[in-house]
Amino acid sequence: MGHLPQDFRKASPFVWRARRVFATVLSPQLWRQRIVVWGGAILIGLIAAVFSKIADAAQGVFSAITAHGRFWPFLLTPLVFVICAGATQRWFPSIGGSGIPQAIAAQQTHNAGARQWLLGWRVIAGKIGLTALGLMGGASIGREGPTVQVGAALLRMCAGLKVLNAERALILAGAAAGVAAAFNTPIAGIVFAIEEMARGFHRRSSTVILVAIVLSGASSMSILGNYDYFGKAAAPFSLQGDGIALLVIGILGGCFGALFSWILTHGMARLRKWRGGYIALHPVRFAAACGFAIALIGFMTHGDSYGTGYQLAEGLLRGEHPASWWSAFSKLAATAISGISGIPGGIFSPSLAVGAAMGASITPWFSGSAPQIIILMGMVAYFAGVTQAPITAAIIVLEITGKTVMPAPLIAVAVLAAGVARVFCPVSLYHALARDYASRAAAEANLAKSPVNS
């Protein structure tokens, strides 16, 4: 089309544009790009669905073992933490923790070697396998954050097929598709890409992200069905009757969310310097101690603090589980200990469980409010306090509960909680951890380039 005379373009602009569109539609290069992205997005959804089945099976194994005696976790959990931490340190150094900070760091860096370290092919098998093993040992972790890192790694690998050059856009799309497929929440996937991953939005990336989200969600639903993550939640909201509750829950969620973030960032940094850096020198021993602490907390809570927290949150929403402050604090502590132990595992589901327990425990304070409203606001407030991504927090809870009649109060409590958390932790949890992973990835990439290793 570039060889057409200039006068022809001026004389027949409509025909010229039509021919350009026709040539673009039939372009083999563009179709190769689309097929690669579409195939990768579908694969993300399928892997997310399989990962969900594996995670449920792993928790089932742990439940079956503990059914034979409440003391088994004192042996099993430290052993599993040692295996997970040891394997992570030796073979998969970039998969510790959630996986979202790694995806953020990879999306922001311009260093190809650092991206490879953060989102290489090893990430996929290591993240899924060791997260499932952690759940088999009772760790308070989730699969949603790991799915984000796996999704980002899968679509980043599409750039290696030499049909696409937009590697950063693919990482962003893969991470968003991972959220959408893990929770069955396509809108939350879009918002997550804008608010948390990119902290902005690039117009050229929008189509790639949307297509990836739709296809990953469709392929995941083909296995798991069209479901609401926590079932349906129906409860009326009144600003006059529930306004005070919104303010209290927003402040509490922000404070406790900031506390959790501080433990995983500043608290862990201080632990690494404790006793001359003993923990940094002996990470596997530290992981064993963390595993013992998880077993102890689980023993005292009769198992409420183990695993993803899905059953705890669902039971509280349905009014089938007794609520107490101890449930919220124990789940927060177990999730924080699992996070600082160095093993792979996310914080999405455990954070929702902490928020649900927090909300349920203060329902007696607001006798005029529906308990389910308080619990929903607690889930949103704590999650927003941890991530400082208020719109993502509100949309995820709206979608996973099928609650479509009260978006305004949930967004309001999320914004309040995120604002309170930002006072104590100016840099959000994921982005603070992303800085650490970015520096480690850059160091690994430079080491690989050094003459000694060449």
Architecture in CATH of 31-224: Orthogonal Bundle (1.10)
Where exactly are the structural domains of the chain?
31-224, 239-438
The one-letter amino acid code at 22 reads F
Domain 31-224 matches domain 239-438 at the CATH topology level: yes
The segments of the chain whose pLDDT lies below 70 read 1-29, 31, 159-165, 198-215, 217-218, 220-222, 224-242, 275-276, 403-406, 450-454
What pTM was estimated for this model as a whole? 0.85
Summarised one tens digit per residue, pLDDT across range 124-158 is 999 999 999 999 999 999 999 999 999 999 988 87
- DSSP H helices in 4-99: 6-11, 13-25, 28-66, 73-90
Sequence-distant (6+) residues with CB within 8 A of 201 are 193, 194
Would you state the pLDDT for residue 288? Answer: 96
How far apart are alpha carbons 328 and 325 in whole angstroms?
A: 5
pLDDT for 391? 85
Identify the pLDDT of residue 370.
83
Comparing CA positions, the residue from 316, 338, 263 lying closest to residue 88 is 338
Biggest distance spanned by C-alpha atoms of the chain:
86
Instruction: Specify which residues 344 forms β-bridges with.
Output: 97
CATH class held by domain 239-438? mainly alpha
